[in-house]
Amino acid sequence: MSAKYFRDLAARCRNTARDCFDLYAKEEFRRLAGEFSAKADELDNRSARSSQPGWWSMAKPLQFMDR
């Protein structure tokens, strides 16, 4: 799933919370929106990191001593 999908879900939850009259449901929609936004951020960060070289590409190969 993409970050855009989770951002869209978060936006829907925020809109529903705004229009909701039930205070418990309103808080649950807000909580869900926060979780969906956090997941979208996590996916964005993961994709940004995958385009950068990782520590394994910077590591030098081990040099073994000949006996």
Question: What DSSP letter does each residue of 32-51 carry, written as one string?
Answer: HHHHHHHHHHHHHHHHHHHT
Q: Does some domain include residue 66?
A: no
Q: Does some domain include residue 61?
A: no
Dist. CA 4–CA 10, nearest whole Å: 10
Q: Does some domain include residue 29?
A: yes
Compute the average pLDDT of residues 38-61: 72
For the stretch 38-48, pLDDT in tens is 999 999 888 77
Q: Does some domain include residue 55?
A: no
Number of separate domains in the chain: 1
pTM of the model: 0.69
How open is the CA angle 66-60-63, to the nearest 5 degrees? 5
Q: Give the domain extent around 29.
A: 3-49
Dist. CA 57–CA 48, nearest whole Å: 16
Q: Is it the case that residue 6 has pLDDT exceeding 80?
A: yes
Q: Does some domain include residue 11?
A: yes
Dist. CA 41–CA 7, nearest whole Å: 9
